[in-house]
């Protein structure tokens, strides 16, 4: 690292690969694991936890949709109030 140039010290590419194995191109034959299940949990606990996480995702999605709808309604209300003020003068 060149200390004379401050931009190289604080570059955005801090995760540059310097050695070791090269990054794979995504064509590996191994199955990708997209979740983690602790081995110390029973199957019943794992299922319950999975259901809880799924319900949490659904609730978050519903909350986001409701927030978006609220924003739309607030914008419409602001427009209606602006028109009302305009015509009441």
Residue 36, pLDDT > 80, answer no
Q: Where are the alpha helices (DSSP H) in 1-89?
A: 6-9, 43-88
What's the pLDDT tens digit per position in 42-74? 888 888 988 999 999 999 999 999 999 999 999
Tokens of 43: 């199957």
Listed in sequence order, the residues at least 6 apart from 41 whose beta carbon sits closer than 8 Å to its beta carbon are: 49
75 burial class (0-12, 13-18, 19+ CB within 10 angstroms)? exposed
Most confident of 7-11, 30-34, 58-62: 58-62
- The predicted model gives 7-36 an average pLDDT of 59
C-alpha 88/C-alpha 81 separation (Å) is 10
- Residues making up the chain, counted from first to last: 89
């Amino acid at each position: 690292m060149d200390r004379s140039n401050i931009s190289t010290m604080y570059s955005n590419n801090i995760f540059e690969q310097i050695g070791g194995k090269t990054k794979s191109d995504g064509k590996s034959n191994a199955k990708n694991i997209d979740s983690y299940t602790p081995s110390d949990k029973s199957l019943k606990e794992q299922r319950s936890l999975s259901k809880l996480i799924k319900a949490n995702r659904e609730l978050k999605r519903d909350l986001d949709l409701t927030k978006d709808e609220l924003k739309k309604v607030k914008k419409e209300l602001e427009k209606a109030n602006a028109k009302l003020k305009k015509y009441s003068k």
